Structure 1
Amino acid sequence: MRLYILVFLLLLVGCSNQGVLAPAHTLPEEVVLEGLEGSLALRVGSNVAWRVESYNTWLSTTPATGIGPKVIQLKAKFLGELQNQPEYTGSLRITGDVEAEVLVRLPLVRVTGGVEDSSPAAASVSSSSLPSQLQRTSSTPTPSATGDEILVKYRTDLRAAALPEGSRVLSHDRISRLTKLQSPNPQALLERLRLDPSVEWAEINGTVTAQGEPTDQFYPQQWYLRATGARFAYQQTYTTPITVAVVDTGVRYDHPDLAGRLWQPGEGAYDFVGDALPPEEPNKPYDPCGQPAPDGPGDNDPTDPCDLSAKDKGSHGTHVTGIIVANAGTFVPACPTCTDSGMVGQAHNAPIKVLPLRVLDSSGNGTFEDVALAVRYAAGIPVEKSGQLLQNPRPAQIINLSLGSVAYSNVMCEAVADAVARGVLVVAAAGNFQSSSPGAKVYPAACPGAISVAATDQYNQVAYYSQQNSEVDIAAPGGNTAISGGGILSTTWNYTTNLPNYTFYMGTSQATPQVAAALAMALSSGRASTATEAWNLIRSSATDLGAPGRDDAYGYGLLNLPGAFGWTLPRGEFLVSLSGPIARRVPVVNGRFETFLVPGRYTMVACRDDSGNSLCDSGEPKMERQVQVNGGNTLDLGTIQVGP
């Protein structure tokens, strides 16, 4: 009888359909992960069914369901950076024939250290004692210090010259025969002096200013110029005129921030789309947004007539153009409440002009044929459009293509090849289809010879929409308008009020013109004399992000102008970055840093962030070493020496 009772009890232990479970104490109350992985031992009866669910998105289980005893593998995976805290905790819920909750702990190791500048001049120079030319100053010199002084060089001795009435001599240099006069009406005095045969020349006694960052109203919102170091473009001298063709929707010539920066109708600009057809009924008003005549030859005025998708902040081509060449300084405002300075283009202080070529209609759509015609035309290759021969009198050195299709096109790729063969740089948007078509190639960016540009956000991470594939060559800020101020600000047009304005856009369309502008600046400055030299300069100086070396998200890295041009930057703050089981960028405060890391092996880079973009760019003083972080409370890395 005792034997029967014992057998009956043993059967109950392994029986699931009666709801008799293994004792609860056989399931652990908590599990501690070692690094990003760990395990949970489920010691249950052989017929007990169970399911494990995670309350936390960062914690996954394999397998998630089963029957009987099992060792479940736990894995932590974070989409972004971990919070800087000593420990992460999560919970697992076990349901089915057994009910329990298990606490999962992921302890992080406190890592500390110090950073010192080992360069010889470190002790005497700090970021708080910057030279005046590095402070933010106006890029537009003021006409005169006092407003009433004239410098005159007389052909004869001053004593023999008759001074204009109302003028007063402030000083006279006998060696250079230079006289400084003062007058309550200096402009009238200047005009009289220039008519005087005894005067060699006369001019207003103007002033010069230390060159520095622009003071345009919206410049502080152009974070992307800081991300790429383009804010320091004033340090470079540019002498060679360069043309960048913007193949897009056309451009608003009447935007005051683009005055003098565009090739005009009759100077090579062209509209391959053509104007909208007149209304069928004479009494109806003309609609500039209507369909153009099919198979027409186009015309030489690529003014963007309208934007059906953004009437109050439209003109994609104007936005792209402003990123490249919008002026610095003031202009006459378009209305009493309009800005008088706006924003600045990346190449605002270089003799670079945009050649607008319209291939996209008011809906933002165009044909492969028109894009191919515009690319060849921009490169100076004669083309024929509806029986009309077109020859561009202003061949471009760079072609910007902020457009694309996931469909391969022979005609576009052949046109790109023809332009590249002529020594023209073709820069194209990698595409914004990563969410819907991950890894898909976009053309013409994926055409052989084209430079494919990906997009990053405000945090120097690849943008969620940016195409990732083997054709990506380089990355530049494309922004994210879901974040306040996180888009790319540039020139646009309000078609409702018919006034210029400024809008945040996002996309690889906005990243592409920044690379096009950088290439134009390389050629204009003389740092490069050929297309190949310009691209090698920009590519080799990019800040490597993502996997080491070229990768599908960032290409060769993020655009880095100071590294390309060798600009001398003010000394920045120190920065420590670590990549390994997790990635972490750590600020250095008063020479010390502290963070928390998952155990594992890391590559640590310490640098002096002179460009101020929270990255260790090429050309900045830095140090790199491997760090092993083992389990424990604290790891002190000592003092890191960062030098030239």
Structure 2
Amino acid sequence: MRALAVTILALGALLAVAPARAVSKASRPAAAPLIPRELDSLAREPHALVQLTRPVDARAASLLRAAGGSRISERLAIWRVPSRAAQRLVPALALAGSLEEVQPDRALAAADHLTAGDPLLPREWWLGRVGADRVEPPGPGVPVTVIDSGLDLSHPEFSARPDTGALNAQTFAGRTEFHGTAVSSVVGAPANGVGIVGVYPRATLRSFDVSSDGGLRASEVIAGIDAAAAMGRGVVNISLGGTFRNPLEEEAVLDAFDRGLVVVSSVGNERENGSPASFPAGLPHVVTVAATDLEDRASAFSTQARAVDLAAPGEDIPVAVPSTAAAFGYVSVDGTSFSAPIVAGAAAWIWTVRPELDKTQLVELLRRTARDLGAPGRDLDTGFGLLDLPAALTAPAPASDPLEPNDDVVQVSAGGLFRTAKRALTAPGRGHASIAARLDSSEDPEDVYRAWLPPGRRLVATVRASRDADLQVWDSGTVTVHARGQSRRGSLLGQSAVRGSGRETVEVTNRTRAGRAVYVDVFLPASASLVDTGYTLTLTTAAPRARR
């Protein structure tokens, strides 16, 4: 009873000093008080994810901690809180302007299936299909972090393996918790004369266990992404997913990509169930991997999706597993869960021997060098095609896609998603700028840039693209370039959308005595097709046109 009284007093103190109008990231209005139905949804899972507004009010954090909450990501201000406590606390946090987001901590599923047969296969057929048997792997380099169930570090493949580490406590005792060990073995089982060999045998390998309570939870995936990103440039493999698009997980992925992390994820095994979208595989800036069979065809189970970037073998894959899953320590598996780590390991290999590549070049290299399968061109089954490691190691570097991620205002503005704003293309004293970049209908359909419009001057924005791309200029107070209704009318300064045109121009004049920031938005028009385009955006400030 005393603890409850303390909580009530603390809530009162928090509300007493709440500002009349709280402002959260990107000047988005403070969250409205939650209605009972939204609160009821929290009870569907044992825990809830609560994100506080930044900068974090210490009293709000103390309330969550006192209620049994644990901080998942300091950088993103995300907490995991018992659902009953969250139901009690979040209305007051919202009223105080301290609540950014709240949602159930939903369970995830692994994209795998154990198959019958001899677990000790005489050879790994898939190594030749991706060309890993034709090139010499490097020593340790760019790390691969496997976010999954725990890694059995006592397994013969890992007990004496150098450059192998756990980022948190590892659990793998349950019969269903073989998954993380299996995925890790596909990435980097060493050439030690025992069992199998991974795609990158000497990879720097890390494991983050998201099955501490016997299940797989979104909160722990977020914590794993955050932990991997804190360690710098690297590759993350997530062979897990769910059908709910989790905005906090998406924020963690974007933050990690901004910090130099490439996230690889399996598309899922749900073709027979209508290929529902799976996340994080379906998120922008995630390398999404489908599965192929022994005939280089899309696996019958592999989910079809616009998000698929490329494919890798995913059937009859020999893997290492804890003895609790199989007495001999090896089984054969099917699933996109085991296609993704082939790509993740290959990505780390490529980045290790080609360190001059940035994250966008690495991703584009994987896609553009893939071997096309089936009907010519990119498709929903295998994306750009089957991973081709030798081609990716030797192909010319593609052009960089600068300032990514920059899909909306919140990703480029001061006080937005990231700690620092993206650089403005034009600024006081710099009235001309040009930038070359890319758009992709599934991964990156929109690019937003900051620009400076001096007082009494005109901004001329021109985009030239190899395909149809549209152009808009938005006011400095814009919250999102996807605004509708009155918000759109009050913020959109100009637009050009000539159908089929590779050139668009928008002119905006500042007739005030003060300079102003604007946002320039280059985007692909909505289409059912899988398309991508390169473009050049040019910004120039000039004297205003004479009024007629």
**TM band (smaller chain):** 0.3 to 0.5
Structure with more contact order per residue of length (Cα contacts < 8 Å, sep ≥ 6): 1
User: Which structure: greater helix fraction?
Assistant: 2
Give TM-score scaled by structure 2 length.
Answer: 0.48
Give TM-score scaled by structure 1 length.
Answer: 0.41
State which structure, 1 or 2, has the greater radius of gyration over its C-alpha atoms.
Answer: 1
